[in-house]
Amino acid sequence: GAGVSQSPRYKVAKRGQDVALRCDPISGHVSLFWYQQALGQGPEFLTYFQNEAQLDKSGLPSDRFFAERPEGSVSTLKIQRTQQEDSAVYLCASTRLAELTGELFFGEGSRLTVL
Amino acid sequence: KQEVTQIPAALSVPEGENLVLNCSFTDSAIYNLQWFRQDPGKGLTSLLLIQSSQREQTSGRLNASLDKSSGRSTLYIAASQPGDSATYLCAAPIQGGSEKLVFGKGTKLTVNP
């Protein structure tokens, strides 16, 4: 595709619900990243894939967060039993190269509000 | 642990003014540094990527410099326009050429007509 596409753009969940956020990276991009951005803050790293392999998940806040990229293209970030502190914008980014020596392209994000 | 700080947090200038945004980082053993722009409710747009072998990168009215020895980068915007109003974020790898970026909190720029 022309850019990184994320869906849904907005999600309101009741506390305790499960949510799934989708990221469709730029076609052919090897690396895919998930970041979490709280209001007024810079994005914070969650996890990183190279093709289908999840190479780093050190930023995931708890075991309620799970990400996958089974075929090395589309990725899903799943949050189980959502809590109010999970409210944030979840940003997906991709880059063509396996190492971050190139430009990083971000999607517009999925804004999650947990009531 | 890499920490990235941006000063000022907010800046308001009249149209046409030249301005400088500052970014400092604690771990200077990085391979590159990126500057991004974020409009309200939007994702991040990459503005400039500076490799460690470079001292500067230019794109139109934007010029970014990187001084690893002092742990600083600056984004210079010439002849600012109202359309430049946005939040500007810098990001450095957590170490070396790591794929994991550490972002500053950003500088919110307002250019008044």
DSSP assignment letter at A107: -
Say if residue A98's pLDDT is above 70.
no
Instruction: Identify whether the C-beta of residue B75 lies closer than 8 Å to the C-beta of residue B90.
Output: yes
pLDDT score at A67:
98
pLDDT score at A103: 76
Long-range contacts of A51-59 (CB under 8 A, 24+ apart): A55/B99, A56/B99, A56/B100, A58/B100, A59/B100
Q: What is the reported pLDDT for A3? A: 92
Testing the interface with B: which of A100, A110, A113 to mutate, by most B Cβ within 10 A? A100
H helical segments located in A4-68: none
Kindly list the averaged pLDDT for each block of 10 residues, start to end, along chain B of length 113: 94 96 93 92 90 90 94 96 97 82 96 96
A 25-64 residues inside an 8 A Cβ radius of B: 31, 33, 40-45, 48, 55-56, 58-59
- pLDDT tens-digit map of A32-60: 999 999 998 999 999 999 999 999 999 99
- Does the pLDDT value for residue A2 go beyond 90? no
Among the listed residues B77, B33, B72, the one whose alpha carbon sits nearest the alpha carbon of residue B53: B33
Contact A93 B93 (CB under 8 A): no
Q: What type of residue is A86?
A: D
pLDDT at residue B42, as a whole number: 87
Q: What is the pLDDT of residue B48?
A: 94
At A55-97, the pLDDT tens digits run: 999 999 999 999 999 999 999 999 999 999 999 999 999 988 7
